[in-house]
Structure 1
Amino acid sequence: MAKLSFISILALALCCLSSAKAREIHTTESPIDDSPFNLTTSYSYVCHPSRFSELGLDIKKYAYCDSSLPYHIRVKDLIDRMTLEEKVQQIGDTAKGVPRIGLPKYEWWSEALHGVSNVGQQGSKASFFDDVVPGATSFPMVILTAASFNETLWKTIGQVVSTEARAMHNVGHAGLSFWSPNINVVRDPRWGRALETPGEDPFVVGRYAANYVRGLQDVEGTENVTDLNSRPLKVAACCKHYAAYDVDNWLGVVRETFDARVREQDMIETFVKPFEMCVKEGDVTSVMCSYNRINGIPACADRRLLKDTIRGEWDLHGYIVSDCDSIEVMRDRHKWLNDDAEDAVSQALKAGLDLDCGSFYSDYGANAVTQGKVREADIDEALRNLYFVLMRLGFFDGSPKFDNLSKDHICSQDHINLAIEAAREGIVLLKNENQTLPLDSQKIKTIAVVGPHANATDAMIGNYAGVPCRFTAPIDGFQQYGKVTYATGCQGVVCKNDTMIYPAVRAALNADATVIVAGLDLSIEAESLDREDLLLPGYQTELINQVATRSRGPVILVIMSAGGVDITFAKNHPNISAILWAGYPGEEGGHGIADVVFGAYNPGGRLPLTWHKNEYVDMLPMTSMPLRPIYSLGYPGRTYKFFNGSTVYPFGYGLSYTTFNYSLAATKRSLDIKLNKYQHCRQINYTDAAFQPSYGSETILIYWSPPSEIRDAQIKELVAFNKVFVQAGHSAKVKFNLNACKSLRYVDYKGYSLLASGRHTIAVGDNILSFPFSINYEVSE
């Protein structure tokens, strides 16, 4: 038994009341350098004196290599030395370099969603693996890591990934800019990219983004420097895909042509909130715009979304990049304004798009200038934003703090141990009848491990993955606890026939306990592949039912998936004693699953998205963007904030082997706000067991519900969370400070962010504790 005292002290701030060097002219065009900057030589940075000497250049003549000068002077010197034709060759994902002035080629595209990845454009991948660097630590997919609700874990993973990235960079196997994380909110359970994201709650997604980005980027001791444009970077992160992007390929509707029709209310509340948090709280150096249109305008050509909001309102210190080939998509797929290539380039540059993941800028940028469709100064601005980031990364001057990192810092035992811990922390216990779990290894000697994921390897690491250090499959993990009998039961997760079911049944008949590892993989849910239903594929349901019915001992079902699966049949099956959700648990997934089943780790994960019944997909099309119900069409609301029907498992659900009791220690119950005579209020629409672990981890979720009279308001909204570790028999006090203008903000249908007067409700978990909270206004003369 563990006890938690909850202190809710609302620290409520009224924040919501609302002479340059002459430019050199070059008459000859520079040759393109197609060879990458070889970082395996002793010249691990651009402005190395010996490197310039070997190039036949006098480094003293190049102010951009003078480290005593401020960045803005160095960057201007570098840009001013280039011809127009040379400039446009630097604003694609493969920056070609300018050999005659000592500038090497640079590959902007690397990925680090849950570990350093080798995903990228064929022939221009900045990160790769070979005999020198055979692999890197592959952590769980983001959806499972998010389920830990542990901000410290999120940041620590980012720190480890950036350490391995820097080590790979030092031996010539990685770039310095990584286009991760993916922070799109999972609006619909069918979305194929749910595995890459932190779930359906924009606040959780934003907090994940800020922490992971800080882990990737921050250099210890420089986190709070006053000049953010010169703040050193470990690596450069990128929050993507901005914005309102969550349809990939559903019944013929594809992301390259989809027009997301979104109300400002939903944009502010849901779709852009995580990106704002990523920029303002995470100080991310890059944001990637998405393929889709938003209310008719391609995201990568919308000045209001890019230059006015990201760079203006949010004060981005970095660059804006397109999703790959978005400008080409804008011309050829969206047929935006019937633009030709030069028109599309000018639209994107004027909107604030600095870097083209593609070739349109490089191929057509110079023509766009000579045709008078865009200024060369717009290209200069894009280059400034890019080179400031490379300066901060040490690309030009080196980074003494990280230059000593080597391949010995990749796949270290500490990093592998963190991958194990991350898998354990994210796993969610969904069912545990009669305290079946944890299993007792003294009594359970033989274990049947069956199902299409029983021997999973590649499936555990999902997408945007590199080569892992090693794999611990489920059968490997369970071999630590007993003798394992393995039977797949299906030919892959598609499970197209039932011919392999009986060997799995026979294994269960002869074992003390049976673990069925089933679920989905990238053939079912992935980028460019949305789901049509929420069921287990093929004969998996029949496999589970037959094994559960015939098993001699207790049956534990483990589901690997990103999105929810309608497993109501298993939830209600009397012979299935326990159910675990393991997401895609990374290279050490089997280790984490077995440790939870046998009690070496007490599960504390919570679902980061709602598990709907399959009937949900028949209620509304995936293309309907509003989150609130559309009563005239019979469409239900989306996410836990607006859906009020029955579910398989709700957002935030998760059991533990420990029983926690909550008590309310102290709270402030009201907030009185005095307005002066120049401040005005706005109208809001109203409606007429035996096992006792040494400690347990509990995820405390704090929800806010606005006054019930407000029309179309969210049912509830997560405003704070904390992961707490409490020893058995002990108690802990947990303090939450909530800012009223951020945490109790209601966005009305006009797009105003308001702090509503009246009776609000603060609740702990699923109404474990709740109390009313009043906001009162008084106008003073």
Structure 2
Amino acid sequence: MAQFPNVTYPDAISPNPNVVLGAQTNQTSPPRYPSPWGTGAGEWATAYEKAIAIVEQLVLEEKVNLTTGSGWQQEQCVGQTGGIPRLGIRGQCLQDSPVGVRYTDFVSLFPAGINVGATWDRRLAYERGKAMGLESRDKGVTVQLGPNAGALGRSPTAGRNWEGFSPDPYLTGKLFADSIRGIQSTGVQASAKHYVGNEQEHFRQTPESRDYGFNITQPGSSNIDDQTLHELYVWPFADAVKAGVASVMCSYNLVNNSQACQNSYLLNHVLKSELGFQGYVMSDWQATASGTMAGDIRFGDGLSYFGPNLTIAVLNGTVPQWRLDDMVVRILAGWYLVGGDTEVPHPNFQSWTPDTFGPVHAHVGSTWGTGLVNQHVDVRREHGRLIREIGGASTVLLKNTHGTLPLNNMARLTAVFGEDAGSNPLGPNGCRNHACDVGTLAVGWGSGQASSPYLISPDAAIQHEVVSRYGSYESITNNSAFTQINALARRVRDNAGSGEGFANVDGNLGDRKNLTLWQGADAVIANVSATCNNTVLVIHSVGAVEIDQYKDNPNITAILWAGLPGEQSGYAIADVLFGRVNPGAKLPFTMGRNRSDYGTDVLYTPNQEVPQYNFQEGVFIDYRGFDHRNVTPVYEFGFGLSYTTFEYSGLVIEKLNVAKYQPTTGFSGPAPTYGTIDNDTSAHTFPGNLNESYGATGFGDDSFIPENALNGTSFEHSPSSGPNGGNLYLWDILYHVRVNVTNTGKVVGDEVAQLYVSLGGPFDPKIILRGFERVTIDPGQTVQVTFPLARRDLSNWDTVKQDWVITEHIKTVYAGSSSRDLPLNAVLE
């Protein structure tokens, strides 16, 4: 077991008083201007050259058109921008979701991000991203709205945690980056979301909250100190930028009481300066209050902050030409970076109807023409194989007493109980946006879901397995049938779901109300386990659930967490139950005894007109918080059993000869402009004379413009800044840590070797994940696993220096099979 350093923490919500002071109600975000202009550094160079060559040819209206969305339900995709027909430049088709192509047919429903997190497998993250990218591309989508690293997972009940990978920023960052690489290898741009602090669904939007009866005047504000922001929530986005992500989507919430989608500190300073992001920022739909929304201001209102308003702003000087040119170059460069100009066809579907023929522009109806709107192109290939593989590879074996699993010997009677085992009587897509909990749970609800071409239920798959062996099988998928359940008790299945805040499922407004199982499952489990001493419990859920009572129940001999496995759900669990797949998954989050164990929670009732979420726990979320407060979990982060056993030995550290860290200094060059703009307002007359209708001249008061916002002479480089991911020295590998892992059992199996680091400071977590690798090992075989430790992995964010620093505190590495099973340790010199 792990031997943690002897650190005594003061009595406080967070061990660092500066963190508490930096997460206060009504605190404000510092302004940072100007918005840094892109340079086309590194892998972006050719894409920028192509983009600039186009922008130099454009007139003002054409530049504006590339930045402006068509509005909700006006075109085929959930988001669509203008193009330049005379130059063959098409508008962008932006389409959900992080699990597949939303609002169309003949596409795959992939496992959720949280399942990819449970695989701890970078190859599977890449392959899933690639498969989703191929399906998006073949539907004509140029930008996939995913993957998701925000919500990160501050609160276990948060509604959209399942769309991401893990509350650990390191695990999320690696799988986030590999997913992006997979998507963009197909010619489709990824949009990394939601940046940043989007940690609950309650109060994310003012109109939505008012519909639920909450009287708020602004979305909720995530109040986060600078160190926590960098070390936790921005960390995965640095990996995304390093991976070359084309787009970043900003979020609905405020951060330090400034809209995330127009927060100059987050966007200008952190993302574009510190991380050196070369792509473009898009807002979430309706996520702005003044100036960055690409599309209508409110769904269907026909208004836009862009379009004519942006044209006017350029003409009257409140938006300089260099700022507009930078916007357009970034947008086009993202397209060229991934080869989307040659790879992606035009959209062959329409999001707003499943019909083959219908209105070309759904919002306005048939007045503006009808025609072929859905070609029903089947883009799935054989992605079901990969989905099934990920489903099995992400199923975590939590308990297995008496060798209950795998089911090698057929019982006289196999019975399955629970509504989660069965099918939705209305079909796999019977609830729009999957906003219900009927039948087996394969995905959460909201914009993060996709249609399913079929859904293999556990009942169907297990029945096929048993009957094909000529066994006896019965199932009861009505949780209220207590009499019949008591008479036939053998196996149980249950679930707990969540999703996006626009849908209310049984009083769960996106965020879960609790961590208990749904559908009356607890009563079913109690009935079955009371009469059957060999009960197997399978859980489909969006994240952590309260299962302490089942861990300690001697009649429940096996427990599996299967997450949200997508369309192949039943086959995936059957593969594990019957031993075709030896479970190698690990929990990507902590399972506590109750929700208070986590030390964080969703704010369910407004605490003022602008709700305030004060992140005073700092970096101490999930296992970091459990360790800090000395709370024993039911199952720890990184935990997972196998049908075989593993042993760790031989930890060796190799220190590499690497150059000393050098902070970035100096200033940028001046902002470039491309082409000229005719400032004669009479030359810009669509959709009317701008001078008369929109006030393009004689603007008057410009006191609202922030200081330096119009300054295109230069900007100062921050110490941690650098192209495409931040200061290049941060990515230097300082150490290789090697451990031996031996399969001491009788069957081949996968083990996820994990490396944790203690940074050693009085306000640091006891340990933090800093390496993992999933390896397949034959019986009796020993495999050496190498963990590279980068400078960034051993650094803290210094709020005074505004840079990453390696402190003088002793750094200790720990290796093993979970966050609380770490038999090997050594000090880094």
Q: TM-score, normalised by structure 1?
A: 0.72
3-state SS of paired residue (1:238): strand
Q: Distance in 1 between matches of 2:315 and 2:127?
A: 49
Match of 2:113 among 132, 137, 142: 142
Counterparts of 1:553-568 in structure 2, within 5 Å, are 554-568=534-548
What's the C-alpha RMSD, in Å, of the aligned pairs? 3.6
Query: Residues 719, 392 of structure 1: CA spacing in aligned structure 2 closer, same or farther, 3 A cutoff?
Result: closer
AA paired with 2:589?
A: L
- Structure 1 position 527, deviation (Å): 9.7
Match of 1:745 among 777, 795, 804: 795
Listed one character per residue, the Cα deviations across residues 17-71 of structure 1 (whole Å, up to 9, x for unaligned) are xxxxxxxxxxxxxxxxxxxxxxxxxxxxxxxxxxxxxxxxxxxxxxxxxx99951
Aligned to 1:582: 562
Aligned residues: 615
- Structure 1 position 449, deviation (Å): 1.2
AA paired with 1:425?
A: A
Aligned to 1:434: 402
Match of 1:245 among 198, 203, 221: 198
Listed one character per residue, the Cα deviations across residues 125-173 of structure 1 (whole Å, up to 9, x for unaligned) are xxx33xxxxx21222111011100000110011111112222222xxxx
Give yes or no for the alignment of 1:261 onto 2:223.
yes
Q: Distance in 2 between matches of 1:68 and 1:109?
A: 20
Query: Residues 325, 527 of structure 1: CA spacing in aligned structure 2 closer, same or farther, 3 A cutoff?
Result: farther
Match of 1:153 among 120, 124, 130: 124
- Structure 1 position 471, deviation (Å): 1.7
Q: Distance in 2 between matches of 1:188 and 1:152?
A: 28
Q: Distance in 2 between matches of 1:290 and 1:654?
A: 33
Give yes or no for the alignment of 1:475 onto 2:453.
no
AA paired with 2:463?
A: Q
Query: Residues 156, 699 of structure 1: CA spacing in aligned structure 2 closer, same or farther, 3 A cutoff?
Result: same
Give yes or no for the alignment of 1:773 onto 2:823.
no
Query: Residues 642, 383 of structure 1: CA spacing in aligned structure 2 closer, same or farther, 3 A cutoff?
Result: farther
Give yes or no for the alignment of 1:446 onto 2:417.
no
- Structure 1 position 711, deviation (Å): 1.9
Q: Is the 8 A contact 2:792 2:804 kept in 1?
A: no
- Structure 1 position 190, deviation (Å): 1.5
Listed one character per residue, the Cα deviations across residues 53-106 of structure 1 (whole Å, up to 9, x for unaligned) are xxxxxxxxxxxxxx999514432245337367756646874324455x366763
Match of 1:515 among 492, 495, 498: 492
Query: Residues 759, 471 of structure 1: CA spacing in aligned structure 2 closer, same or farther, 3 A cutoff?
Result: same
Q: Distance in 2 between matches of 1:116 and 1:731?
A: 42
Give yes or no for the alignment of 1:295 onto 2:256.
yes
Aligned to 2:756: 703
Q: Is the 8 A contact 2:130 2:183 kept in 1?
A: yes
Match of 2:241 among 279, 285, 297: 279
- Structure 1 position 722, deviation (Å): 0.2
Unpaired stretches in structure 1, ≥5 consecutive residues: 1-66, 119-127, 130-134, 170-174, 220-233, 331-343, 491-498, 677-690, 776-781
Query: Residues 620, 591 of structure 1: CA spacing in aligned structure 2 closer, same or farther, 3 A cutoff?
Result: closer
Aligned to 2:516: 535
3-state SS of paired residue (1:187): coil
AA paired with 1:462?
A: G
Q: Distance in 2 between matches of 1:624 and 1:658?
A: 44
Give yes or no for the alignment of 1:728 onto 2:689.
no
Match of 2:764 among 713, 720, 723: 713
AA paired with 2:395?
A: I
Q: Is the 8 A contact 2:460 2:570 kept in 1?
A: yes
3-state SS of paired residue (2:752): strand
Q: Distance in 1 between matches of 2:131 and 2:593?
A: 38
Aligned to 1:224: none
Aligned to 1:48: none
- Structure 1 position 207, deviation (Å): 0.4
3-state SS of paired residue (1:661): strand
Query: Residues 361, 437 of structure 1: CA spacing in aligned structure 2 closer, same or farther, 3 A cutoff?
Result: same
Query: Residues 295, 568 of structure 1: CA spacing in aligned structure 2 closer, same or farther, 3 A cutoff?
Result: same
Counterparts of 1:182-197 in structure 2, within 5 Å, are 182-184=148-150, 185-197=152-164
Aligned to 1:95: 81
Q: Distance in 1 between matches of 2:317 and 2:508?
A: 38
3-state SS of paired residue (1:244): coil
Listed one character per residue, the Cα deviations across residues 437-493 of structure 1 (whole Å, up to 9, x for unaligned) are 1112x3324321111201146431334232223221101120232143121242xxx
- Structure 1 position 579, deviation (Å): 0.5
Aligned to 1:411: 380
Give yes or no for the alignment of 1:176 onto 2:142.
yes
Match of 2:815 among 760, 764, 780: 764
Listed one character per residue, the Cα deviations across residues 645-672 of structure 1 (whole Å, up to 9, x for unaligned) are 1222111111111111111153359999
Give yes or no for the alignment of 1:385 onto 2:330.
yes
- Structure 1 position 713, deviation (Å): 1.1
Query: Residues 407, 728 of structure 1: CA spacing in aligned structure 2 closer, same or farther, 3 A cutoff?
Result: farther
User: More displaced, 618-627 or 650-659?
Assistant: 618-627
AA paired with 1:206?
A: G
Listed one character per residue, the Cα deviations across residues 366-413 of structure 1 (whole Å, up to 9, x for unaligned) are 34445543235433322222122334455555579xx9xx99973233
Q: Distance in 2 between matches of 1:577 and 1:323?
A: 45
Q: Distance in 2 between matches of 1:71 and 1:618?
A: 49
Aligned to 1:308: 269
User: More displaced, 301-310 or 289-298?
Assistant: 301-310
Match of 2:96 among 111, 114, 128: 111
Query: Residues 203, 268 of structure 1: CA spacing in aligned structure 2 closer, same or farther, 3 A cutoff?
Result: same
- Structure 1 position 110, deviation (Å): 0.7
Listed one character per residue, the Cα deviations across residues 549-588 of structure 1 (whole Å, up to 9, x for unaligned) are 113x621001111221111111111111110001011100
Listed one character per residue, the Cα deviations across residues 512-562 of structure 1 (whole Å, up to 9, x for unaligned) are x423334335566999521232222463212111111113x6210011112
- Structure 1 position 114, deviation (Å): 2.0
Give yes or no for the alignment of 1:364 onto 2:300.
no
3-state SS of paired residue (1:139): coil
Question: Among the aligned pairs, what percent are the same residue?
Answer: 26
- Structure 1 position 115, deviation (Å): 2.2
Q: Distance in 2 between matches of 1:615 and 1:593?
A: 27
Q: Is the 8 A contact 2:648 2:824 kept in 1?
A: no
Q: Is the 8 A contact 1:192 1:531 kept in 2?
A: yes
Q: Is the 8 A contact 1:534 1:613 kept in 2?
A: no
3-state SS of paired residue (1:249): coil
AA paired with 1:447?
A: T
Query: Residues 767, 744 of structure 1: CA spacing in aligned structure 2 closer, same or farther, 3 A cutoff?
Result: farther
Q: Is the 8 A contact 1:193 1:526 kept in 2?
A: no
Q: Distance in 1 between matches of 2:344 and 2:134?
A: 13
Query: Residues 653, 371 of structure 1: CA spacing in aligned structure 2 closer, same or farther, 3 A cutoff?
Result: same
Q: Distance in 1 between matches of 2:336 and 2:657?
A: 47
Match of 1:270 among 221, 232, 239: 232
Query: Residues 216, 504 of structure 1: CA spacing in aligned structure 2 closer, same or farther, 3 A cutoff?
Result: same
Q: Distance in 2 between matches of 1:69 and 1:555?
A: 60
Q: Distance in 1 between matches of 2:508 and 2:336?
A: 33
Listed one character per residue, the Cα deviations across residues 659-711 of structure 1 (whole Å, up to 9, x for unaligned) are 111111533599999999xxxxxxxxxxxxxx97641000111111122xx22
Q: TM-score, normalised by structure 2?
A: 0.68
Q: Distance in 2 between matches of 1:469 and 1:585?
A: 14
Q: Distance in 2 between matches of 1:596 and 1:377?
A: 57
Counterparts of 1:560-709 in structure 2, within 5 Å, are 560-616=540-596, 621-622=601-602, 623-628=613-618, 639=625, 642-668=628-654, 694-707=747-760
- Structure 1 position 254, deviation (Å): 8.3
3-state SS of paired residue (1:320): strand
Q: Is the 8 A contact 1:670 1:774 kept in 2?
A: no
Q: Is the 8 A contact 1:489 1:502 kept in 2?
A: no
Q: Is the 8 A contact 1:255 1:291 kept in 2?
A: no
Aligned to 1:59: none
Q: Distance in 1 between matches of 2:444 and 2:654?
A: 45
3-state SS of paired residue (2:307): helix
Aligned to 1:460: 442
3-state SS of paired residue (2:826): strand
